Each structure stands twice: as structure tokens, then as C-alpha cells.
């Protein structure tokens, strides 16, 4: 995501090449009518932390997001919290009713690690109430003929109290050393004779926060942060528990959801939990451990559970499409390829090929050397690890929201280490693209088809599930007649149909998201939900938007049968949404009436009783 000023500045720089960039893709002009293959899975998604609420209830432990939000003011717009969110924890049947109304084939949701393991460690405590909650949800879905697609980790991690702080910085640094030099012995390059400590050696790589804030940041991450390699073991144990208690009914698992954004926002910019700003280092270390954790979970399932449960384990990776500004300019073509490798290839390449993309290793390695570092800021996999990682995915989950034009730009190494500088490119947006509800998101459907074809070619034609695709509410005010979202849905789903005709093995589509929910640092201002949620009312009532009706028609028809039918869907959806707008308009009046009845009626009753008692007392006195 880019701030608006970056996009505007970038497009200003693009002006000399506008003639080339303005050429619309040939497939953009034609709409493809037809249906998806039989058995194509239609779904919708959500995540635990964004929707469940029930903060601290029924044995749930604290998470890094709880600490991030409650620990200080300002990290979330409007000081919003997810303490209550959509109350999905107590409204399972209501959510199931919405899924049945949509007629989806599957529901993608995530498990709360800390709801199942309050301290994050299986050996310490397993929360039976958490297991029962998710077990009941899975049973309810299956009873409604809805397939559960379960994500193990969607950005929320357990964060118990800090462990014993007796472990010193040198011991932690030796652990980190193994990340960058996996083939080295535990003390290779560490010279105590010359008086250098581990902090002296690794501060250039890890940044000043490693040594200056080691107690506050590293030690509390022993269970809850991806800077620590021990997280891979704890994640494997957590995944094993989930396979054991839910795997008899869950046949589609995603280990992680969009880990690239998670590490960039959590360990590079600090905009999201755990809020670390280890620029140019922290996100690479975190990603390194996440990739290893994914592989361990896959191997555990493959070795122990697959033969009896016969399920599939994959990962969900989000990436926008990068289109060269000038398709005849080799530099722009290389920059666009680099954009995709730093975005999708960063995680997909180790999983499918065993190692990071060569362009990442070259660029980060060169800049690291120019910055005076003895080793690359991008960690290395050992030969044994490469073999262990390769092939650890039964399908590829692919999230996609928008597209960028890409042109190259060299960022001098003296500007300091950062993920953005390592890529040596600029992202641009075409002013003619329709804007969605967030300043970074434009509707550019043709980018999805290109990304799907890229993934098919790069990773050996894997089965692909589109695991996230959607757009937030365009206006801050309530708008049920979301025709712009209908156009977004229509365009992007149609590009999936085209990609299927290209030969891409697409198994299903998950639109994002079921409900309006907590959107991380944006609080409740970004509204991706198909259903509007009125957070100002105690029971948080929901209302369907026009896109609900339209998406349901696509699902029922399994595609786009003909122009007349598709246009009829649009008109029908816009007609029904006006009724819901009227219902919401009367809601304040009904709410005031309800409040009045809650206050006035009991008050009148009490007064009536008091008056009757007083009259009765006076009557008795007069008789006596």
C-alpha cells in the first residue's frame, strides 16, 4: 500500500511515457460469457481477530494485537479495538445464516491461536472451550453443506507475559547468527578475543533496536514474535493440535494468510502488531522463520495425518500485479519482474523451488555489501533446508486486490536498508482506473488474469484457490446500493474465468469479506463486508448490500450465462438494496423507541406501584 502522495508523485514522473502506458491490455475490452467448471468452489472469508470479539473470554489468552492496541494510544484510527468486533464468537448461527443466504460452497475463516493455546505453547495449556467453539462452528458449517477452509494464522499471535530476562543479548544474537549463516558453527566469526560482543557484530544487521531494546522486544517475542526461530517449533505444535482435533472434518488448511504484508507492516514499518521498526532486516528474519514454520506444519501433516484424514495443506499469498510502464523497455520489464519476485516469489519460490528468487538474493546481497555488511540482510537456507522446503504445498492460495504500473529506479545504498529501497522500483497508478474505498486500491481486473498465469508458469501449474479478493466501501456513510462493488466483482471474477480458459487450474474463489469488521490499523473505517454491521447498536444488526444479491446470482449460475441475464442481476440487486436503505433510515427512530420503552415503561410501572401502595396505605389508615 502506498500513500496518495507517492502515487501522485509517481504518476507525475510517468508523464513522459504515458503514450506507451496508456495502451489498454487487449483482453480488457472483451467480457467473457460462460460458466465455471462443475465443482468450482464459491466462497467468502473472514478472520478470527477481525470478527470474533470475546476478548479475554472463555480462557482466551492475550495476543500481540491486544498488546499493540491496548498498550498505547494512536496505533489504530479512532482508537478502535477488536475487543468486541462483530461478536461472531457469540453469533455463530447468525453468521451461518448469512452464508446460507449467499449460497456459498465454502467459508474461509481463521483460528485464534491464543484462544486454543492461551500461552501459545501446547505443553503448557490447551483451552477446551476454544476447541469446542471451533468444533461447533465446523460442525455447523458441514451441516449446512458449507466446506470449511481453515487458516491457522491470520496475523494474530499469542503474547504471554515476558519470559525470564536472564537470557542475555549475546545468547540471542548467536541464535540470530544462525539465521544469516546457517552452515556456520554457533560461534563462527564471533571473536571474544578482540572484545567484540554479539551486539557489536550484529547491530549493523539487526538495527539499533536489537541491542537497545532487546529486553522489551526480543524476549517478549520468545513465544509471540517471528524474530525468534523458536516460533517455528511452537507453530508446528499448534498446527498439530489443530490437525488432531479438527482434521477429521477439515480437509483444506492454509498455514498463513498474506505473510508478506504481516512482516512488512509488523517488522519493517511498525504500523501493525507487534509494531517493530527493524528496517531492511526484521521483515526478512520474520519471513525466514514463517517459511520454515509453514514447511514444518506441512511435513507434520504429510507424515502423520494425511493418510487418515486425506486433506490438503497450502498457504495464502497476497500480491498485486505489476505491469511494466513501457512494455518495450527492458528496464521496466525487469523492474516489473522484480516487483513480482519481491512480492509473490519471496514466499512462493522457497515453497515451490527451495530457495529465494535469485533477483532478491542479488539485490539485497549487493546493497548489504555496499552498506558495509559482511553478510546479506536476506538470510540463507542451508542445502538441507532447501530440500526440506521444496514442494511443501498441496495448492497455492492467491490473494489479489489491485494492479500497479512499475518502472525502475535505483535507490543508493547510503539511503539505508529498507524493503522498499531493496526493490529499486517505483509503483504507479493510472488516473483513469476506477478508485475504490481506499487510496491504494483501484479496480484493474485484467491484472488478476495476468497474475494467475504468472503463478501457473512460475510454480509448475499448481492447483490455485483465489483466497482473497474484494474492495472496501467507497464512502464513509452507509451505502447499501454498492454498484461499484458489483462492477468490481463482475470484472475480477470474469478474469478468473478467462484464466481458466487459458489453462490455469483454478479450484475456487473466496470473496473478501463476509462482514464489515476490524481492519487492523484502519479500525472500522475500511468496510470490505458484503453485509453492513451497525456497530452503534448493542446487538450489532447487519444488513445485506446489493453485492450480496449479485454474488449469489453468480454462484447460482456458476458464472455468466449471457448479457441479458447478467444485466438483470444488476438491476435486481439495486432494487432490493433500496429497501434495506429504507430499513436503516428508520433504525434510529426504532432505536429511540426501544430505548424509550426500556426506560419509560419500567419507570411508569414503578411509579404506578408506588402510587398504588401509597393509596392503599392511606385507605388502611382511614379505616383504622
Confidence band (pLDDT; 50, 70, 90) for 618? confident
- Spatial CA neighbour of 268 closest among 74, 416, 163, 440: 416
What is the H or E stretch that residue 151 is in? strand 147-153
CA-based end-to-end distance of the chain: 85
Question: What pLDDT score does 582 carry?
Answer: 65
d(C-alpha 367, C-alpha 530), whole Å: 44
Cα dihedral value 215, 216, 219, 223, nearest 10: 170
Question: What pLDDT score does 73 carry?
Answer: 77
| 3-class state of residue 346 by DSSP | helix
| pLDDT tens-digit series, residues 528-551 | 999 999 998 989 999 999 999 999
d(C-alpha 178, C-alpha 229), whole Å: 9
> Cell 449467499, residue?
102
d(C-alpha 601, C-alpha 388), whole Å: 69
Say what the pTM is: 0.86
Confidence band (pLDDT; 50, 70, 90) for 620? confident
Top pLDDT among 168 and 531 is at 531
| pLDDT tens-digit series, residues 46-58 | 999 999 999 999 9
Average model confidence (pLDDT) across the chain: 85
Question: What pLDDT score does 584 carry?
Answer: 66
**Does the pLDDT value for residue 567 go beyond 60?**
yes
| pLDDT tens-digit series, residues 228-280 | 999 999 999 999 999 999 999 999 999 999 999 999 999 999 999 999 999 99
**Does the pLDDT value for residue 151 go beyond 70?**
yes
Burial class from Cβ neighbours inside 10 Å (0-12, 13-18, 19+) for residue 427 reads: buried
Q: In the predicted model, what is the mean pLDDT of residues 38-64?
A: 96
Strand partners, 398: 317, 466
- Sign (positive or negative) of CA dihedral 4, 10, 13, 15: negative
DSSP string for 171-225: HHHHHHHHHH-TTS-TTTT--TTTT--HHHHHHHHH-HHHHHTIIIIITTHHHH-
Dmax over CA atoms of the chain, in Å, equals: 110
- Spatial CA neighbour of 68 closest among 206, 336, 307, 275: 275
d(C-alpha 186, C-alpha 178), whole Å: 7
C-alpha distances (whole Å) from 618 to each of 28, 114, 604, 605, 622 are 87, 63, 21, 20, 6
Confidence band (pLDDT; 50, 70, 90) for 586? low
Q: In the predicted model, what is the mean pLDDT of residues 205-213?
A: 42
Q: Which fold has domain 4-163+220-617+619-623?
A: TIM Barrel (3.20.20)
Question: What pLDDT score does 476 carry?
Answer: 57
C-alpha distances (whole Å) from 41 to each of 45, 248, 310, 327, 388 are 13, 20, 18, 35, 31
The rounded percent of the chain whose pLDDT value lies above 90 is 72
Assigned C-alpha cell, 505: 487450474
**Does the pLDDT value for residue 415 go beyond 80?**
yes
Ranked by mean pLDDT, which of 72-81, 97-106, 596-605 comes out on top? Answer: 97-106
CB atoms within 10 A of CB 535: 17
The rounded percent of the chain whose pLDDT value lies above 70 is 80
d(C-alpha 557, C-alpha 174), whole Å: 58
- Spatial CA neighbour of 395 closest among 108, 46, 99: 108
Q: In the predicted model, what is the mean pLDDT of residues 16-42?
A: 70
The counts of H helices and E strands in the chain are: 24, 15
| 3-class state of residue 241 by DSSP | helix
Per-residue HEC secondary structure of 97-131 comes to HHHHHHCCCEEEEECCHHHHCCCCCCCCCCCHHHH
Confidence band (pLDDT; 50, 70, 90) for 585? low
- 140 contacts: CB under 8 Å, gap ≥ 6: 92, 93, 96
Assigned C-alpha cell, 299: 511435513
- 564 contacts: CB under 8 Å, gap ≥ 6: none
Phi/psi class of residue 310: alpha, beta or left (left: φ > 0; alpha: ψ in -120 to 50)? left
d(C-alpha 534, C-alpha 553), whole Å: 25
Residue 591 contacts residue 537 (beta carbons within 8 Å): yes
Out of 193-207, 340-354, 404-418, pick the least confident.
193-207
Question: What pLDDT score does 74 carry?
Answer: 79
Residue 224 contacts residue 157 (beta carbons within 8 Å): yes
| pLDDT tens-digit series, residues 96-131 | 999 999 999 999 999 999 999 999 999 999 999 999
**Does the pLDDT value for residue 292 go beyond 50?**
yes
Residue 211 contacts residue 196 (beta carbons within 8 Å): no
**Does the pLDDT value for residue 191 go beyond 50?**
no
| pLDDT tens-digit series, residues 304-360 | 999 999 999 999 999 999 999 999 999 999 999 999 999 999 999 999 999 999 999
What is the H or E stretch that residue 147 is in? strand 147-153
| pLDDT tens-digit series, residues 427-478 | 999 999 999 988 899 999 999 999 999 999 999 999 999 999 999 986 655 5
Assigned C-alpha cell, 150: 481453515
Question: What pLDDT score does 204 carry?
Answer: 39
For helices 282-300 and 346-353, what crossing angle results, to 10°?
40
**Does the pLDDT value for residue 596 go beyond 80?**
no
Question: What pLDDT score does 595 carry?
Answer: 47
Amino acid at each position: 500500500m502506498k500513500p496518495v502522495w507517492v502515487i501522485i508523485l509517481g504518476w507525475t514522473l510517468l508523464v513522459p511515457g504515458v503514450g506507451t502506458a496508456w495502451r489498454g491490455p487487449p483482453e480488457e475490452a472483451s467480457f467473457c460469457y460462460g460458466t465455471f467448471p462443475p465443482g468450482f468452489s464459491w466462497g467468502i472469508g473472514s478472520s478470527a481477530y477481525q470478527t470474533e470479539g470475546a476478548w479475554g473470554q472463555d480462557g482466551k489468552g492475550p495476543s500481540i494485537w491486544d498488546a499493540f492496541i491496548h498498550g498505547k494510544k494512536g496505533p489504530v484510527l479512532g482508537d478502535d479495538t477488536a475487543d468486541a468486533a462483530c461478536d461472531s464468537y457469540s453469533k455463530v448461527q447468525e453468521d451461518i445464516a448469512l452464508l446460507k443466504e449467499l449460497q456459498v460452497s465454502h467459508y474461509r475463516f481463521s483460528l485464534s491461536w491464543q484462544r486454543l493455546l492461551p500461552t501459545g505453547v501446547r505443553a503448557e495449556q490447551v483451552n477446551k472451550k476454544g476447541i469446542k467453539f471451533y468444533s461447533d462452528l465446523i460442525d455447523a458449517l458441514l451441516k449446512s453443506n458449507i466446506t470449511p477452509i481453515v487458516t491457522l494464522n491470520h496475523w494474530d499471535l499469542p503474547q504471554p507475559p515476558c519470559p525470564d530476562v536472564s537470557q542475555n543479548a549475546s545468547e540471542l544474537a548467536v541464535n540470530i547468527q544462525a539465521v544469516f549463516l546457517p552452515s556456520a558453527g554457533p560461534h563462527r566469526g564471533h571473536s571474544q578475543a578482540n572484545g567484540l560482543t554479539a551486539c557489536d557484530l550484529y547491530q549493523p544487521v539487526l538495527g539499533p533496536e536489537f541491542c537497545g531494546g532487546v529486553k522489551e522486544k526480543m524476549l517478549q517475542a520468545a513465544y509471540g514474535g517471528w524474530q525468534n526461530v523458536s516460533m517455528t517449533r511452537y507453530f508446528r505444535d499448534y498446527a498439530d493440535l489443530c490437525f488432531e482435533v479438527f482434521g477429521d472434518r477439515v480437509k483444506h488448511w492454509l498455514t498463513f494468510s498474506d505473510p508478506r504484508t504481516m512482516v512488512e507492516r509488523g517488522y519493517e514499518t511498525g504500523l501493525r502488531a507487534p509494531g517493530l521498526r527493524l528496517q531492511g532486516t526484521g521483515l526478512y528474519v520474520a519471513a525466514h522463520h514463517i517459511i520454515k514454520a509453514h514447511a514444518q506444519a506441512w511435513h507434520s501433516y504429510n507424515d502423520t495425518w494425511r493418510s487418515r484424514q486425506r486433506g490438503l495443506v497450502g498457504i495464502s499469498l497476497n500480491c498485486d500485479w505489476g505491469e511494466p510502464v513501457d512494455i518495450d523497455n527492458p528496464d521496466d520489464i525487469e523492474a516489473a519482474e522484480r516487483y513480482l519476485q519481491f512480492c509473490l516469489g519471496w514466499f512462493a519460490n522457497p515453497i515451490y523451488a527451495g530457495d529465494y528468487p535469485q533477483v532478491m538474493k542479488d539485490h539485497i546481497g549487493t546493497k548489504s555489501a555496499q552498506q558495509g555488511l559482511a553478510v546479506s540482510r536476506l538470510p540463507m537456507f542451508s542445502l538441507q533446508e532447501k530440500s526440506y522446503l521444496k514442494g511443501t504445498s498441496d495448492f497455492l492460495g492467491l490473494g489479489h486486490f489491485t494492479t500497479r504500473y512499475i518502472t525502475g529506479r535505483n535507490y543508493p545504498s547510503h539511503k539505508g536498508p529498507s524493503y522498499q529501497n531493496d526493490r529499486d522500483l517505483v509503483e504507479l497508478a493510472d488516473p483513469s482506473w476506477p478508485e475504490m474505498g481506499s487510496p491504494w486500491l483501484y479496480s484493474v481486473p485484467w491484472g488478476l488474469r495476468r497474475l494467475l498465469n504468472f503463478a501457473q508458469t512460475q510454480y509448475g501449474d499448481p492447483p490455485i484457490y483465489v483466497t482473497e479478493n474484494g474492495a472496501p466501501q467507497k464512502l464513509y456513510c452507509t451505502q447499501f446500493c454498492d454498484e461499484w462493488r458489483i462492477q468490481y466483482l463482475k470484472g475480477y471474477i470474469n478474469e478468473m474465468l478467462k484464466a481458466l480458459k487459458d489453462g490455469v487450474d483454478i479450484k475456487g474463489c473466496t470473496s473478501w469479506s463476509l462482514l464489515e469488521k476490524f481492519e487492523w490499523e484502519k479500525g472500522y473505517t475500511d468496510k470490505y463486508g458484503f453485509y453492513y454491521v451497525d456497530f452503534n447498536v448493542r446487538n450489532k444488526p447487519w444488513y445485506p448490500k446489493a453485492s450480496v444479491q449479485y454474488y449469489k446470482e453468480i454462484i447460482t449460475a456458476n458464472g455468466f450465462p449471457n448479457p441479458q441475464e447478467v444485466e438483470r442481476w444488476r438491476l435486481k440487486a439495486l432494487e432490493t438494496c433500496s429497501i434495506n436503505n429504507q430499513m436503516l433510515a428508520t433504525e434510529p427512530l426504532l432505536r429511540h423507541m426501544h430505548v424509550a420503552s426500556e426506560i419509560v415503561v419500567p419507570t411508569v410501572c414503578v411509579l404506578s406501584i408506588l402510587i398504588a401502595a401509597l393509596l392503599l396505605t392511606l385507605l388502611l389508615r382511614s379505616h383504622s
